[in-house]
Amino acid sequence: MSEIVKRALEGDELVTSKILTKIEYMTPDGLEYLDELSARAGKAHTIGITGIPGAGKSSLISGLISQYSKRGLKVGVIMIDPSSPISSGSFMGNRIRMQDKTMLKNVFIRSIASRGHLGGVSSEAIMLIEAMDGLGYDKILVETVGAGQTDTEIMSSVHTIIVTSVPGTGDEIQALKAGIMEIGDIYIVNKADLPDANVVYDAIKFSIDSAEWKDWIPKVIKVSALKGLGIEELVNEIETHLEYLRNTGKFEDKVKERRREMIELIIRKWANDKISKVIKENSSLIYEKNELRKTLDALFSKFKNNIC
């Protein structure tokens, strides 16, 4: 084992953090560390929390951190925020909701920006999940904004998906439209301290009850992350789902699925970088003449040289 990974496993947070950065940026030594950690991974229970902006995902995570930490578990948190397509910068504000948990031992919280690259953030997030798993975190919580391809890719890589809805946003309709009603293992109606929580609850419940399920029937829970209500019930439900995954062999299946996804995304990213490079290097060819067929033929042969 490399000295660096050894120090991370012994609990050196700064070293852990440096490893995560190298993996995030896919540097050559980052991939070495990921290789080492991946060999140790496969035990963590990974939990995705998704839902519309402002639904209370970060507040929920804060509540879950408390509960898991109380039970003596090691908790890793990965939160993804969008990058600006214009500046590529990102404002990542999720930590605000859980800063009072930062000083807890055995809790490691990391924010990453979606960076807006094709296959970009998903591969980064999944690599970080894999790394944290290898580092011995028991529960890994992943927050994504519930929209688009990125979300789906990441969510298909976690064991338990929690979809967060809130009253007063027409969320029940949105949820149905976005297909988000198909992915959850547990549905949360957060902000249950506000009026109309029951309306959302009933709508989600109805939608679940009127569909057919193979084995796991999604649960709906009313929660107030702000007031700390329903969090214990949520924790119990997450454990029930974990048990179900273990009993059916789906726990291991998910880990395998995550690795397939990770490998696919790494390769895609690599290929994508090659494509960008070839396009850039041959921009004169592209700009100077309007000869589509010739240009494509020339570029294809360059790709083949580049990739093979």
Partner 1 sequence: MEKRIKVVVSKLGLDGHDRGAKVIARALKDAGMEVVYTGLRQTPEQIVKTAIQEDADIIGVSILSGAHLELVPPLVKLMKDKGLNDVGLIVGGVIPPQDIDKLKEMGVDDIFLPGSSLKEIVDKIKRIAYNKRGIKIE
10 Å Cβ neighbour count for 113? 19
Residue 196 as a binder of ligand GTP (CB under 6 A): the answer is no
Task: Please give the residues from 3 up to 32 whose contact with ligand GTP meets the rule CB under 6 A.
Answer: none
Task: Please give the residues from 104 up to 133 whose contact with ligand GTP meets the rule CB under 6 A.
Answer: none
d(CA 188, CA 270): 37
Phi, psi of 139, rounded to the nearest 5 degrees: -120, 130
Task: Please give the residues from 43 up to 72 whose contact with ligand GTP meets the rule CB under 6 A.
Answer: 51, 53-59
- Taking the alpha carbons at both ends of the chain, their separation in whole angstroms is 32
Binding-site member from 38, 90, 106, 295 for partner 1 (CB under 8 A): 90
Q: Exposed, middle or buried by CB within 10 Å (0-12, 13-18, 19+), for 257?
A: middle
Residue 287 interacts with which of ligand GTP, Mg ion, partner 1, none, CB < 5 to 8 Å by class = none
Q: Exposed, middle or buried by CB within 10 Å (0-12, 13-18, 19+), for 304?
A: exposed
Phi, psi of 59, rounded to the nearest 5 degrees: -65, -40
* Distance of closest approach, residue 79 Cβ to Mg ion, in angstroms: 6
Q: Report which of 53, 57, 55, 91 is spatially closest to residue 77, judged by C-alpha positions.
A: 57
57 or 139: CB nearest Mg ion: 57
* Distance of closest approach, residue 207 Cβ to ligand GTP, in angstroms: 21
Binding-site member from 194, 242, 298, 299 for ligand GTP (CB under 6 A): 194
Residue 226 as a binder of ligand GTP (CB under 6 A): the answer is yes
* Distance of closest approach, residue 18 Cβ to partner 1, in angstroms: 6
d(CA 200, CA 191): 11
Residue 58 as a binder of Mg ion (CB under 5 A): the answer is yes
d(CA 213, CA 273): 41
Could you list the residues that contact ligand GTP (CB under 6 A)?
A: 51, 53-59, 94, 97, 145, 190-191, 193-194, 224-226
Could you list the residues that contact partner 1 (CB under 8 A)?
A: 13-14, 17-18, 20-21, 25-26, 83-84, 87-93, 95-96, 99, 102-103, 108-111, 113, 115, 117, 120
